[in-house]
Amino acid sequence: MSEAKRLAAEKAIDYVEDGMIVGVGTGSTVAYFIDALARIRDRIQGAVSSSEQSTQRLRQHGIDVLDLNATGPLALYVDGADECDPHKRLIKGGGAALTREKIIAEASERFVCIIDPSKRVDVLGRFPLPIEVIPMARSLVARRIVALTDGQPVWREGVVTDNGNWILDVHNLRITDPVALEAQLNQIPGVVSVGLFARRPADVVIVGGEPPQILD
């Protein structure tokens, strides 16, 4: 699958225009994108990064990492996903970077999602849904999730997000109305963000292959 990830990432370079500040996601597919972006680094102003991991890789390549508060809205955000449905709605957060990813997606005019073919599903939920929680609310949020859904929340023990929070992964969901579930879970006190990108889905999905498939 890593070759498919690389092919998707390379194709996403077509969406980068001269002078842009590029929003950059997190994960192994995005790592290929950062490597490809490095080849055209003189053509862009810099990047806004969704994680410490991506920031480190961007800086290693000599790409300036800018603060979203200083840049204002972005024209382009490129990120991977753990699952993608036919409406370009996503599950994200396998790499625990969902909150900053969601912020950058919201700030961006165009969200280009880069995936390998294994990430495509008809109905979201096969991949456990990540939820970032304030540590003291972990048990409360887990109990509310059990009451509200058919899913089983599991604490991703030992993982602390870049924001100092914890992750619950909700297993065995079949998400038939992702927009409603996203809104419902967002209401639980202690939830920082939900790894469902349904209210703000991807605009373009690039599925890596020879040739890459574009869903827009």
In the annotation, is 101 catalytic? yes
Question: Is 94 a residue that touches ligand 5RP (CB under 6 A)?
Answer: yes
SS3 assignment, position 93: coil
Residue type, 113: C
Instruction: Check: CB of residue 37 under 8 Å from CB of residue 16.
Output: yes
Question: Is 95 a residue that touches ligand 5RP (CB under 6 A)?
Answer: yes
* Interaction pattern, residues 11-40, with ligand 5RP; x per rule: CB under 6 A: --------------xxxxx-----------
**Angle between helix 178-186 and 138-148 (nearest 10):** 140
Number of residues that bind ligand 5RP (CB under 6 A): 17
Q: At closest approach, how far in Å is the CB of 53 from ligand 5RP?
A: 9
- Of 57 and 92, which has the nearer Cβ to ligand 5RP? 92
> What does the alpha-carbon distance between residue 173 and residue 85 come to, in Å, rounded to a whole number?
14
Question: Is 97 a residue that touches ligand 5RP (CB under 6 A)?
Answer: yes
- Of 149 and 161, which has the nearer Cβ to ligand 5RP? 161
Q: At closest approach, how far in Å is the CB of 19 from ligand 5RP?
A: 26
Question: Is 81 a residue that touches ligand 5RP (CB under 6 A)?
Answer: yes
Straight-line distance from the first to the last Cα atom of the chain, in angstroms, rounded to the nearest whole number:
22
Q: Which of residues 119-158 bind ligand 5RP (CB under 6 A)?
A: none
Residue type, 102: K
**Angle between helix 28-38 and 52-60 (nearest 10):** 30
> What does the alpha-carbon distance between residue 111 and residue 177 come to, in Å, rounded to a whole number?
21
Binding residues for substrate: 26-29, 79-82, 92-95, 119
- Of 91 and 137, which has the nearer Cβ to ligand 5RP? 91
Q: Which two tokens stand for residue 73?
A: 């809205």
Environment class of 187 (CB within 10 Å of its CB; exposed 0-12, middle 13-18, buried 19+)? exposed
Q: What are phi and psi of 111, to 5 degrees?
A: -110, 110
Q: Which of 16, 22, 84, 98 lies at the binding interface for ligand 5RP (CB under 6 A)?
A: 98
Question: Is 85 a residue that touches ligand 5RP (CB under 6 A)?
Answer: no
Instruction: Check: CB of residue 116 under 8 Å from CB of residue 80.
Output: no
Q: At closest approach, how far in Å is the CB of 101 from ligand 5RP?
A: 6
Query: Which of 10, 83, 101, 182 is flagged as catalytic?
Result: 101
The residues of the shown chain that bind ligand 5RP, judged by CB under 6 A, are 25-29, 79-82, 92-98, 101
Q: Report, as residue numbers or ranges, the catalytic residues.
A: 101
